[in-house]
Amino acid sequence: MISFDNTEIAFQSKSDKDLKRAYWLFRIIGSPKVVSFGKWATNLALKLHLPIRRPVKATIFKQFCGGESIEDCKTAIDQLGKFHVGTILDYSVEGKTSDDDFDRTVEVIIQTILRAKNDPQIPFAVFKVTGIGRFDTIELAASGKQLNEKEKQDVAIIHSRIDRIAKAAFDNKVPLFIDAEETWIQDAIDTWCWEMMLRYNRERAIVYNTLQMYRHDRLEFLQKMLTQSKEAGVFYGIKLVRGAYMEKERERAAQKGYPSPIQPDKAATDRDYDAALEVITKNNDVFALCAGTHNELSSEKLTLLLAENQIEKEDERFYFAQLLGMSDHISYNLSYAGYRVAKYVPFGPVREVMPYLLRRADENTSVAGQTGRELSLIQKELKRRAGK
């Protein structure tokens, strides 16, 4: 039975200075009022072009990001690799709207694929469709409406960018995650993922779709994809997460008067997440999985399901993943026990990654118990080291 309580293993890569910095950061993130003020102050500083790069880079950026460029991430890649934890390079620049920016982002994503080629320390690449195309165009593609010629052309450009990235992943044998996004654009993303799988997942899972289990319809979707994949003779890659847009989803459903797509409570999300793990491991002839979770019980459940379905710990079709700077007690204890584990390592220019970092601070504040758990484990390890 896996244990996540060993803080010596959990923080083996961290110096006392690293731990103390993380402790104070999580103390700050744990206060909704401080986070709210911090977001306001940071956004104001960005608008006024105040010199905030240095303090941000030394604190929240250092905790949650690998660097400003792929080259900058080498230290993080090597440090994680020492402890058999992989790196998923995540170009976390958000909010762009021009075609030039989107094309530049495509090039950076392809560079992450080339960096991952033949490097066992970088098992996956990843991107968000809204990082390479306008939100409103993706929304149109998902709407089912009759599009005019200009709209069709705009959608086709996004589709071609996705195919360029997926083909690069296929040619270089690097599995590729396509992130999930808001429900009202996700149908288009699901469709594009499936098209890429039909093209590139004939021999193994190269393209992975992301399922957010805080949606009450995703278990049914999973079963549907199982049937479709068997009929089509393709492998279906899945990154399984709980989800990241809950408040926004509920607010929009209330405003527009449609039923909320979100589970009624966290227990229902947890139940469906674990049920999905069962479906995926049982049908491991079709599915490949990266379980993106900071939940100890789900992580433990997956270890038991792997054993139950006679799937080796080293099987490259089954990974655990957490975010850099969080849940090291899960990542490092799993890795120490011989499981395949990777960390999401966001990167990009400090100023341009700020929207991602502010969202991360928000999510930490809203997840009950997450920050408290991080703090208690850091305190436990600092105390253990002091008592040596």
Count how many residues are written for the chain: 388
DSSP 133: S
The candidate with the shortest Cα–Cα distance to 126, out of 97, 79, 165, is 165
pTM: 0.94
Could you tell me the two tokens for 193?
Answer: 């993922």
Going by C-beta distance under 8 Å and a sequence separation of 6 or more, which residues neighbour residue 302?
277, 281, 291, 318, 320
Residue 61, SS3 per DSSP: helix
Per-residue pLDDT of the chain (388 residues; tens, 9 = 90+): 899 999 999 999 999 999 998 998 888 776 667 667 666 666 666 666 766 677 778 888 888 999 999 999 999 999 999 999 999 999 998 878 899 999 999 999 999 999 999 999 999 999 999 999 999 999 999 999 999 999 999 999 999 999 999 999 999 999 999 999 999 999 999 999 999 999 999 999 999 999 999 999 999 999 999 999 999 999 999 999 998 778 889 999 999 999 999 999 999 999 999 999 999 999 999 999 999 999 999 999 999 999 999 999 999 999 999 999 999 999 999 999 999 999 999 999 988 888 777 766 666 555 546 778 889 999 999 999 998 6
